[in-house]
Amino acid sequence: MKNIHLIVIFCFLSISFGQAGNNIFSRSPYLQLATDSSIHIVWRTKTKMNPIIRFGKDMDELNGKIGSEFILERRTVDESDESINDALSLFDAPKGTRQFEAKISNLDSNSTYYYSVFDGEKRLTPKDSSYYFKTHPKPGTKSPLYFWVVGDSGTGGENQAKVHTAMRKYNQFKNLELDMYIHVGDMAYTSGTDGQFSERFFKMYEPTLRNTVCWAAMGNHEGKTSKGEDGIGPYYDAYICPKAAEAGGLPSGKEAYYSLDYGKVHFIVLDSHDLDRRPTGHMAQWLKADIEKTKAEWLIAYFHHPPYTKGSHDSDKEQQLIEMREHIMPILESGGVDIVFTGHSHIYERSMLINGAYATPTVSEGVILDDGDGNPNGDGPYIKSAGLVPHNGTVQVVAGHGGTNVSRKGTMPIMRSIFVENGSVLVSISDNVLTGTMLNLDGLIRDTFAIKKEGTVIHSPIENPWNPVTGKKPIKKKSISRGIKVPPVAQMIIRKNSQWAYFLGTEDPPENWNMLAFNHSSWKKGESGFGFGDDDDRTVLESMKNKYTTLYLRRSFALPEGIDYKKIGLVVSYDDAFIAYLNGKEILRVGIESGNGGGARNISPHEAEKTFEYFPFDTNAIKALEGGVNILAIEGHNHEKKSSDFTIHPTLILKK
C-alpha cells in the first residue's frame, strides 16, 4: 500500500486571486523569459497609457525605471497604425487591446527585485510584496532549484483551481517559493483562443504568474489556433520564448522549441504537436546539437505528447506519441537526459528508471534499469552517474492531470506509480539530488521519487522487473525446450477438443486477459486444437497465416474433490511455442526466452507432428490453484508470420 501524507494547513494567509489595478488590466502583469541578467514583464489594457516599469531590490525604493521608449506595444490588427509593425499585431485579441512587453536588462544574477506598473506617474499595481521577480543564477553555478509542473489544466473549472490552490498552500506551509513554472501544454481549452487564454490560464493562475515565469510547451488544443512553423497565434502572443538562446543553450530560430539554463540544470522544450518529429527534421537536428553543447549536470526535457502512457491516450497506438518514443527518445537518452515531463494523457504516470524503451508496443523486458519505487523513504532513490552520461537511465512523468477530466485505458508496463486523479508535480534539485512530489488537488502527497547522481554507475537491464499490473516482482519462469512423454491418465480435467474462448488480432488483449475476473464474452469460441496448415486442427485459423503470430486462449475448470494436486499436469500439442497462466500467474514457458504477447522474444521453432507432450505442475503452479473455479490461459506463438503451419491443443490431466 502506498503511503499517503495529509498536509494540514493551520492557517493560510489570504491570497488575492483577482486582477490587479481595479480592472485597468485586461490581462494582469505576468513574467516571461528570465535570464541571469534580464526579465520580461507583460500586461494588457484596453486603453491608451504611458507605460512605465519601476523596480528595485527594496520594495520601498523602486529606483530602477523602464520608460515607454523601451517597452514594446502590440495591438490588434484593426488598431494598428504606422507606429505599429503589423507583424507584431495580436492574433485574435479583443478590439482595442494593447499588450505591453517590457524587457528589464543589466540585472544582478540570482537576485530578487520588486516591481510595479505605472501609467505615467499613476501606480497601477498595488504596493505588494507578491509583485517580484528573480533572475536566474549564472549558467554552470551551483544553485538550488524548485519548480512546478502542470499539464492539461486549462478548463477554467473547479478542479483546476483546486490544483493551483493546493500547490500554493503546500508551498506556504513548507515556506517554499517557486523558481520556475513548467506547463507541458493544453493550458487553454478547447481551442487555445485569446479569450480562453485570458480566462482559463491568466486569470486562473494570476497570483503565481505575477512573480513566476511560466516556460511552456504547446499542446494540441493550443495548436488549433497557433502554428509552430510560423510562430503565429494566441499561444505565441501569450509567451515570449528564447529562440535566439537568450536564456542559454543553442539558438533554435523558433519559439516552438528552445532550451534554457538554470545554474547547472539544462531544460529542453520541444513541439511534439505540429512539427517534424523525424530524426532528419530541423527540431531533432537542433536537439542533437543543443545537447552536445551543454555542460550542465542535469538534463530535463518536456513536451506535450507522452512517449509512454495508457491514460486517456495510448502511446502504442497514436502516431505523435509513437514518433516521440521512436525518434526523439533515442536522441535524449544518448544525451543523458534525467527526466522527461509530458501531458496530453489525462492521468499521472511515473516510470521506473528506464533506458532504450523504443519498441512498439512498449514492453518492460530489457529496458528497466531500476525497478524500485524511487522513494527515499522506500526502496531508495534511483542512482545515476554524476554528470550527463548516455543511456544511464531516465524517469518519465506524465502530468496530464492538471484540471481536466482524468481517465485510464490500461497499464503501461514501465510505470511504477499511477494515479487517476487531478494534481500537479513539484520538483526540487539540490546539489546531486532531484526530488519529485505528486500533490493531488486536495493537498495529499500521492507519490515521491528521487534521482541521486554520484560517482560512476553502470546499470544492466533487469530481466524480470516489477509488474505494475500485479504490484509485484514476478516469479521468473525459465523457458524449457519441450515436455516429456505423456503418462497414463487417471482423469481428463480439460479434454481434447474442448471449447475455448480465443482472441486473435494485431494487438494484445487487455493486461488482465489471463485473470479469473476477466470477461471474455466478446471473444470467439472454438474447439481445440487451433491452428492452420497441419490438417489436424478443429478450429482452423487461416486468417492467422502471414498476419499474426500469437493466439490467446481461455478456459475455466473446476478440480474434483480430494485429488492429489501433485498429479496434475498439462498435456499439449504445439507448434511453435506457448506460455501458460493459471489464474493470472505464469506457470509454464516453452520455447520463449522472454517477454509475452507482442513483446515475446526469441521464439524457438517446434514441430507438433501430431503428438502431445506432458508438463507436470510444479510447486508454483500448485500454489496458483484455487479451491473453486480456475482459469487456464494459454498464449500460443508462431516463431514467424510466414510460417507454413501453427498448432496449439492444450489439455489438463490427472495422472495415475
For the segment 173-209, what is each residue's pLDDT rounded down to a tens digit? 999 999 999 999 999 999 999 999 999 999 999 999 9
Indicate the average pLDDT of the chain: 93
> How many domains, in total, are found in the chain?
3
Asked if 120 and 159 sit in the same domain, the reply is no
Among 405, 438, 453, the domain boundary falls at 453
Please, which pLDDT band fits residue 505 given cuts at 50, 70 and 90? confident
Q: Helix (H, G, I), strand (E, B), or coil: what is residue 609?
A: coil
Asked if 60 and 166 sit in the same domain, the reply is no
Cα gap 390→240, rounded to integer Å: 31
Asked if 435 and 584 sit in the same domain, the reply is no
Q: Could you tell me the three cell numbers for 366?
A: 530489457
Cα gap 195→95, rounded to integer Å: 12
Asked if 285 and 209 sit in the same domain, the reply is yes
Q: What is the CATH number of the domain that holds 650?
A: 2.60.120.260
Quick check: bond before 261 cis, omega within 30? no
Asked if 380 and 502 sit in the same domain, the reply is no
Please, which pLDDT band fits residue 10 given cuts at 50, 70 and 90? very low
Over residues 236-264, mean pLDDT:
97
Cα gap 455→463, rounded to integer Å: 25
Asked if 191 and 100 sit in the same domain, the reply is no
Please, which pLDDT band fits residue 16 given cuts at 50, 70 and 90? very low
| Biggest alpha carbon–alpha carbon distance for the chain | 102
Asked if 37 and 69 sit in the same domain, the reply is yes
Please, which pLDDT band fits residue 61 given cuts at 50, 70 and 90? very high
The residues with which 157 forms a beta bridge, in sequence order, are none
Q: What is the CATH number of the domain that holds 116?
A: 2.60.40.380
Closest of 161, 186, 596, 99 to residue 364, by C-alpha? 596
Please name the residue that has the C-alpha cell 505605472. 118
**Per-residue model confidence (pLDDT) at position 594:** 85
Cα gap 344→399, rounded to integer Å: 8
What is the residue type of 86?
Answer: D
Asked if 203 and 79 sit in the same domain, the reply is no
* Pairing verdict, β 122-123 and 112-119: antiparallel
More confident residue, 82 or 87: 87
Closest of 432, 428, 559 to residue 493, by C-alpha? 559
Is residue 472 in a domain?
no
**Per-residue model confidence (pLDDT) at position 507:** 82
Q: What is the CATH number of the domain that holds 436?
A: 3.60.21.10
**Per-residue model confidence (pLDDT) at position 464:** 86
Asked if 167 and 268 sit in the same domain, the reply is yes
Is residue 167 in a domain?
yes
Asked if 186 and 232 sit in the same domain, the reply is yes
Residue 478, pLDDT > 90, answer no
**Per-residue model confidence (pLDDT) at position 9:** 34
Asked if 255 and 313 sit in the same domain, the reply is yes
pLDDT one-digit tens code per residue, 512-561: 899 999 999 999 999 999 999 988 899 999 989 889 999 999 999 999 88
**DSSP summary character for residue 141:** S
Cα gap 367→18, rounded to integer Å: 48
Is residue 42 in a domain?
yes
pLDDT one-digit tens code per residue, 409-458: 999 999 999 999 999 999 999 999 999 999 999 999 999 999 999 999 99
Q: Is 624 exposed, middle or buried (0-12, 13-18, 19+ CB in 10 A)?
A: middle
Closest of 511, 482, 520 to residue 609, by C-alpha? 482
Domain that holds residue 437: 145-453
**DSSP summary character for residue 94:** P
Please, which pLDDT band fits residue 19 given cuts at 50, 70 and 90? very low
**Per-residue model confidence (pLDDT) at position 86:** 61
* Pairing verdict, β 489-494 and 530-532: unpaired
Q: Angle 501-502-503 (CA atoms, 0-180°, nearest 5)?
A: 140
pLDDT one-digit tens code per residue, 548-605: 999 999 999 999 888 899 999 999 999 999 999 999 999 999 999 888 888 888 899 9
Please, which pLDDT band fits residue 395 given cuts at 50, 70 and 90? very high
**Per-residue model confidence (pLDDT) at position 260:** 98
Residue 484, pLDDT > 60, answer yes
**Per-residue model confidence (pLDDT) at position 475:** 62
Residue 84, pLDDT > 60, answer no
Cα gap 178→181, rounded to integer Å: 7
pLDDT one-digit tens code per residue, 125-143: 999 999 999 999 999 999 9
Among 406, 434, 453, the domain boundary falls at 453
Cα gap 211→130, rounded to integer Å: 7
Residue 467, pLDDT > 90, answer yes
Closest of 584, 578, 587 to residue 620, by C-alpha? 587
SS3 content of the chain, % helix, strand, coil (to 5): 15, 35, 50
Please name the residue that has the C-alpha cell 500537479. 424
Asked if 124 and 210 sit in the same domain, the reply is no
Among 80, 109, 136, the domain boundary falls at 136
pLDDT one-digit tens code per residue, 359-394: 999 999 999 999 999 999 999 999 999 999 999 999
Closest of 351, 350, 397 to residue 370, by C-alpha? 351
Q: Angle 285-287-288 (CA atoms, 0-180°, nearest 5)?
A: 70
